[in-house]
Chain A
């Protein structure tokens, strides 16, 4: 087990290094670098350009810049944004909790609702209950989230003005208002994600329910509920856990639209702003955070696998 953990962690470090090199190179190689943003397109002399380049350290060769950037990044220092003038790390430190909270809430919501819904749909496969469950959830999935979000905003602010807080309020300022400000973004993103979970659970359960060992359990007289909710669900769990893990990774980076609609100061919105202002150091740092989240989730799922499936021990 210790060896497995070590192996997975080493693999994760390797992947992160590769990703960091890639995002750094992309940020640096895209035509139109920071200097042109800072100095402005016209009216600047070549000397001014060179001066800004030197100040930003852009005159050094790419590998040297990468190594010094990586060294700083490892200590948690991503530098200062040339656009906002703030430390990137402190911006990220404010954005990460917002996105993390929304992603976690969404995942909890979608799992609590999607797991039983998927089981129910599988157990009643191709019968009325299955069609109802799938019909409702897949409808929410097929409507684009900006449509759901804007509809919720309209309906919420029109008919339930007291219930929702439309602009973001941090927990530290007012916990009650904070909760109210998270409800609408959560409702917007959670249902499509629930639909994905439901569909995945349904598929995994259906596959297991057709396995001969399920018939063995039934032939031994085990109660049908127990066959479905213990024997079958437990066997279908490994792919389901993997899937939910991946969803978390996708969610962290995939909240851009929701954060934009509801003005949540999260990673996705920060990323979008950074791209719009060509704030490359910020974009690079955010991309690295996304990559880190993905890799971390992967390691956790990998380490969970032997617990879920004895054949992997």
Chain B
């Protein structure tokens, strides 16, 4: 594994023609995660499929409760009870990790994919020094040689001043931004090819957010790692991502390259999300919001899940649409979009209705 990480810069230099870069780091197929007993409870992740290519940044965007975090935890196989993965495949570097034993999956955590959590205030253990906690991540994978040096380098990589001293300090002695840097350093310390970041900047001050995003972008680029960035913030998506997958009510409803999403979104939900981005040019009181609420996931769903909130819904939408390719690398789970219909007029109408 370590050798693969070491040769990666060369393969990147070959401009993606290499065999290695054709296999995605992560391929998720029909992932289903349920909270509650089989047949009951709620399905938080419903037949989700996507893949992350080497060195790529994929954004997973959606409202709270749309299943983004449940997807991330499912990828790590760390869904807490009563949640459990019910089906699908999570293929990490060519190996489906869902049938693996607990110890096999444990060995892959940190080394093949690392995780950055939402709230740096609670993501670090308050009673251990940060150096000790980073050391745990190294020890877990049998890396005891030169541990202190590795930790100091990792801290220096994330821009910590005086890493030797900082390794001995405790989380409460640091600011939120510094702690998130530590969390990122921990996520990357075993040189994974994929970093999963779940709302990594949501808990931070706006001024720090940009710095932390920039840091993650640079680090993953320098190390050639792919990034799966989970967020509800379209601004973060625009700044960071190559491709975007939009989640709604446990499903992916649209997937496209980032420019395509911003210029030509082909799902009414995505369009609603884009319109809800605060814009300095638009007076605040006229900022449109999405009307209605996401569906109650503990109830069985029929038809398109966005239908009750959708300005374009018609009789077709009583049948549940599939996620289909509608353009080059552009997928949408919407009947009108799949039929090639335009959204413009009705879209404007709903926006006016929501303003004020």
> A residues within 8 Å of B by Cβ?
210-224, 226, 231, 234-235, 237, 308-311
Known: A216-B125, A219-B110, A221-B109; 9 extra A-B contacts, CB below 8 A, are A212-B119, A213-B122, A215-B78, A217-B136, A220-B136, A220-B140, A224-B106, A235-B125, A310-B172
Closest B residue by C-beta to A222:
B140
Is there contact, CB below 8 Å, between B123 and A311? no
Residues of B within 8 A of A222 (CB): 136-137, 139-140
How far is A37 from B125 in the complex, measured between Cα atoms in Å? 62
Chain B residues in 8 Å Cβ range of A235: 125-127
Contact (Cβ within 8 A) A308 B137: no
- Residues of chain B within 8 A (CB-CB) of A224 are 102, 106
In the complex, the answer to whether A234 meets B127 with C-beta atoms within 8 Å is yes
| A231 contact set on B, CB distance < 8 A | 125, 128, 136
* In the complex, chain A residues whose CB is within 8 Å of the CB of B332: none
- Report 16 cross-chain contacts, Cβ distance below 8 Å, ordered by A residue: A210-B80, A214-B125, A216-B133, A218-B78, A219-B187, A220-B137, A220-B190, A221-B109, A221-B137, A221-B140, A221-B190, A222-B136, A222-B140, A237-B127, A310-B126, A311-B172
From residue 49 to 79 of chain B, which have CB atoms closer than 8 A to chain A?
A: 73, 76, 78
Which parts of B77-117 form the interface with A (CB within 8 Å)? 78, 80, 102, 106-111, 114-115, 117
Contact B140 A223 (CB under 8 A): yes
Residue pair B170, A211 in contact (C-beta under 8 Å): no
B160 CB-CB contact with A under 8 Å: no
Contact across chains for B127 and A216 when beta carbons are under 8 A apart: no
A220 near B126: Cβ-Cβ < 8 Å: no
- Assess whether B141 is interfacial by the CB under 8 Å rule: yes
Given contacts A221-B111, A223-B106, A311-B172, contact A216 B126 (CB under 8 A): no
Complex Cα distance, B170 from A231, in Å, reads: 14
Q: Could you say which interface size class chain B belongs to? A: 35 or more
Kindly state whether residue B256 has any CB partner on chain A within 8 Å: no
B183 at the interface (CB under 8 A from A): yes
Would you give the shortest CB distance from B104 to chain A, in whole angstroms? Answer: 11
Q: Which residues of B contact A218 (CB under 8 A)?
A: 76, 78, 109
A234 CB contacts on chain B under 8 angstroms = 127-128
Quick one: which of A217, A219, A308 contacts B114, CB cutoff 8 A? Answer: A219
Bound complex: CA A127 to CA B141 (Å): 30
Judged by a CB distance under 8 angstroms, whether B186 is at the interface is yes
- Judged by a CB distance under 8 angstroms, whether B204 is at the interface is no
The answer on a CB contact under 8 Å between B109 and A213 is no
Task: Contacts A213-B122, A216-B123, A309-B126 given; indicate if A221 touches B117 (C-beta within 8 A).
Answer: no
Q: Assess whether B125 is in contact with A310, with CB atoms less than 8 Å apart.
A: no
A308 to chain B, nearest CB (A): 7
Q: Which residues of A contact B212 (CB under 8 A)?
A: none
Q: A222-B137, A223-B140, A224-B106 are in contact. Are A217 and B126 (CB under 8 A)?
A: no
